[in-house]
């Protein structure tokens, strides 16, 4: 690892909050020819800031690099740090932006069908507010159906994201979201938190 990169990581590791500084540092590295290898090496770093940087880099190249997306899917989704998972969500949104959200639907659906909660959450959280994104802006029913399908997931981490994402959409499309919620099994205790978040005011 070069001295400049070492200094960059040391500087990033001193900043404990926020994502913008990591994203800006990553964007400055995108011209390097070794971005995939660099990102892979950074994922092994014990500092979460270094792994966040790796995820940002992988997200930026994922639309043109299937291996980068595979690393996000198989390695990053298993990272235990919530800040790395937040960056994974941003990486999925970046993929949608670069690929086109409609064209990215197959991958989004594949991740949502996974048994790994972090993969599902990356899609649900990453695209918020879904209906401000191209394609979903014109097809809010698709967004509501894709998100709502996970309202009773065993993962509370995911259910919180589902509830918050549907609440976002409900501000503009209350009928669509209310119709989705009306179909949920009210006897299922896993539904309660999700519904409470959807209907939360403010």
pLDDT at 5 over 90: no
Tokens of 96: 């949608």
| 3-class SS shares of the chain: helix, strand, coil, % to 5 | 65, 0, 35
- pLDDT tens column, 109-138: 999 999 999 999 999 999 999 999 999 999
Tokens found for residue 117: 């909660």
At residue 152 the predicted structure's pLDDT band, cuts being 50, 70 and 90, is very high
DSSP 17: S
Longest CA pairwise span in the chain (Å) = 59
**Contact call for residues 29 and 56 (beta carbons, < 8 A):** no
| pLDDT, tens digit (0-9, with 9 covering 90-100), for 37-76 | 999 999 999 999 999 999 999 999 999 999 999 999 999 9
Closest residue by Cα to residue 56 from 80, 35, 74: 35
Residue 108 makes CB contacts below 8 A (sequence gap 6+) with 92, 96, 123, 127, 146
Residue pLDDT, tens place only, 7-20: 777 777 777 777 88
Domains of the chain (ranges, CATH numbers): 1-99 (1.10.1240.70), 124-202 (1.25.40.290)
CA distance 121 to 124: 5
User: What token pair was written down for 23?
Assistant: 């994203």
């Amino acid at each position: 690892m070069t001295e400049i990169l070492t200094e960059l990581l040391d500087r990033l590791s001193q900043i404990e909050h926020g994502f913008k500084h990591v994203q800006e540092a990553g964007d400055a590295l995108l011209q390097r020819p070794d971005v995939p290898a660099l990102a892979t090496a950074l994922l092994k770093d014990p500092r979460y800031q270094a792994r966040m940087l790796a995820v940002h880099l992988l997200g930026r190249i994922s639309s043109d690099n299937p291996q980068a997306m595979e690393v996000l899917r198989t390695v990053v989704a298993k990272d235990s740090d919530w800040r790395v998972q937040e960056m994974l969500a941003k990486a999925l949104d970046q993929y949608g932006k670069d690929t086109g959200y409609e064209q990215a639907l197959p991958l989004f659906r594949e991740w949502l069908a996974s048994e790994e909660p972090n993969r599902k959450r990356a899609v649900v959280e990453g695209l918020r507010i879904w209906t401000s994104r191209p394609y979903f802006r014109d097809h809010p029913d698709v967004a509501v159906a894709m998100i709502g399908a996970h309202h009773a997931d065993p993962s509370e981490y995911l259910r919180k994201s589902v509830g918050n994402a549907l609440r976002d959409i409900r501000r503009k499309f209350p009928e669509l979201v209310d119709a989705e919620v009306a179909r949920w099994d009210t006897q299922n205790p896993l539904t309660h938190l999700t519904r409470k978040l959807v209907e939360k005011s403010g």
